[in-house]
Amino acid sequence: MKEREPVKRGYSYKAQRRAYLFTTYFLLLVGAIVMLLPFLWMISTSFKPLSQTLTMPPKLIPSIFRWQNYVEAWNTAPFGKYFFNSFFIAIVETICEVIATIFAAYAFAKMDFFGKNVIFVAFLGTMMIPGEMLLVPNYITLTSFHWIDTYYALIVPFIVSVFGIFLLRQFFLSIPDELWDAARIDGSGRLGFLWRIIVPISRPGITAVALFKFIGSWNAFMWVLIVTNTPTMRTVPVGLSYFRTAAGTYFNQLMAAATMGMLPILILFFFAQKQFIQGIARSGIK
């Protein structure tokens, strides 16, 4: 009698699941380390004496913790004023942009008007012009407005963001038109529909636009430097340039100042991360 062949068994479901989880967590861990390393490096360098900042092999934990780097960094430039300006400009810019973007995105997503698509494509086309090319013409325009060295120059040119409009338009497009029909039956006008229905539904998208703007504004360097002349009008990133000299960079103090400059963004992200991730995921551009 022919012996029965043993049944070939694959790996058990449990083992497969374990391997899957292991791979997933391993990749996530590698990703997390890659993302976190620059931050750890920044914090570690911010405590090192200057002579230990670029040693080979590199040391993550400083042999001496030099807390004075923070004090010295703070005293190198008027950082108190820089922080105030960074906050003020970023908050005003964000509020103004969110309002402008909501209206523009709504028009492009939910209203029909002559040349809508052409205008939208033209809007998108402006994203392809590098910012550096516009630096000089924009400077000349602001000079003729006598806006150099004022908050107007730092805020007004950035109130409209094509990227923000694009992002929110994608978000608004995912909201069914039937809601508008229902709102109309209930007697709502366009403005009421926008503020009572579209905006509350789109909170994650709006948060994403706001965060992008806040971070962009907080990190802006070249424009701020170009359109301001006095320290009283400048922001944190300009302060960071004080640690570079033609002969070398004071990396320890630069990293101390960068750590201080990064804190507000980090705190903001912790509070808004859920909305931020949802906003990116739901707008269809992840």
Partner 1 sequence: MLKKGLILLLAVALLGLFAVNTVAATKKVEVTFWHAMTRANLDTLTALANEFMADHPNIQINLAYQGGYGDLSTKLLAAIMAGNPPVMAQMYEDWTMKFLEADALMPLGDQLSPATIVDIPQSLIESNTYLVNGKKALMTVPFNKSAMVLFYNTDLMKQPPKTWDELLQVSKDLTVVKGDTTVQYGFGIRPYTEFFIQFFHQAGGKIFNEDMTKCLINSEAGIQAMNYLLQLKPYSLYQSAYLSDPFGAGKVAMYIGSSAGITFVASASKGKHGWMTADLPAGSINGESMIQGTNIGVFKIGTTQVQRAAAVEFVRFLLSQKATIEWAEGTGYLPVLKSAAASDAWQKYVATHPDRKATTNMILKGFVYPHQANMYNIRSEIETAFEQVMLGKATPKAALDAAAQKIDSEYLSH
Beta carbon of residue 132, minimum distance to partner 1 (angstroms, whole number): 9
Segment contacting partner 1 by CB under 8 A, of 37-45, 155-163, 205-213, 240-248: 240-248
Beta bridge partners of 245: 248
Here's the x/- map for partner 1, 49-68, by CB under 8 A: it reads as -xx-xxxx------------
Among 244, 267, 269, 273, binds partner 1 (CB under 8 A): 244
Rounded distance between C-alpha atoms, residue 190 and residue 41, angstroms: 51
Segment contacting partner 1 by CB under 8 A, of 45-53, 94-102, 170-178, 204-212: 45-53
Q: Which is nearer to partner 1, 92 or 134 (CB)?
A: 134
> What distance separates the 2 farthest-apart alpha carbons in the chain?
103
Q: Which two tokens stand for residue 86?
A: 């960074």
185 to 180, 181, 189, 191: CA distances (angstroms):
9, 6, 10, 15
Segment contacting partner 1 by CB under 8 A, of 16-24, 185-193, 225-233, 254-262: 225-233
Taking residue 225's Cβ as centre, other Cβ atoms within 10 Å add up to 14
Q: Which two tokens stand for residue 196?
A: 């009572």
Q: Which of residues 66-125 bind partner 1 (CB under 8 A)?
A: 76
Beta carbon of residue 148, minimum distance to partner 1 (angstroms, whole number): 8
Residues 236 and 261 sit within 8 Å (Cβ to Cβ): yes
- State yes or no: residue 225 binds partner 1 (CB under 8 A): yes
Rounded distance between C-alpha atoms, residue 227 and residue 89, angstroms: 14
Q: Where along the sequence are the contacts to partner 1 (CB under 8 A)?
A: 50-51, 53-56, 76, 135-136, 139-140, 143-144, 148, 222, 225-226, 229-231, 238, 241-248, 250
